Amino acid sequence: MQLSPTHRACFSIGTEPAAKRVVDVLTEVFFDGDAAVAAFERPDGQWDVTLHFAEAPDQAWLRELIVTSAGNEIADTLVFDIVEAKDWVKASLEDLVPVPAGRFVVHGSHDRDRVTPNKLAIEIEAALAFGTGHHGTTRGCLLLLDHVLKSSRPRSLLDLGTGTGVLGIAAAKALHRAVLASDIDPPSVRVAAENATLNHVGNQVRVIRATGFAAPDFARCGPFDLILANILANPLRQLAGPMARHLAPGARVILSGLLTHQAPAVIATYRARGLVPLRHLRIEGWSSLLLRKVG
DSSP-based three-state secondary structure for 86:
coil
Q: Which of 75, 21, 2 is nearest to 286 (CA)?
A: 21
Distance in Å from the first CA to the final CA of the chain: 53
| pLDDT on residue 1 | 44
Count of C-beta atoms within a 10 Å radius of residue 113: 7
State the burial class of residue 85 (Cβ atoms within 10 Å of its Cβ: 0-12, 13-18, 19+): exposed
Beta-bridge mates of residue 22: none
* Alpha-carbon gap, residue 163 to 186, rounded angstroms: 10
pLDDT of amino acid 92? 52
Stated length of the chain? 295
Distance of CA 281 to the CA centre of its chain: 15
Give the pLDDT confidence of 50-101 residue by residue, as tens digits.
888 878 888 999 999 899 888 899 999 999 988 765 554 555 555 556 778 9
Give the mean model confidence (pLDDT) for residues 246-263: 94
Q: Would you say 87 and 126 are in contact if contact means Cβ atoms under 8 Å apart?
A: yes
- pLDDT of 285 strictly over 70: yes
The yes-or-no verdict on residue 132 having pLDDT over 60 is no
More confident residue, 203 or 113: 203
Q: Which pTM was predicted?
A: 0.69
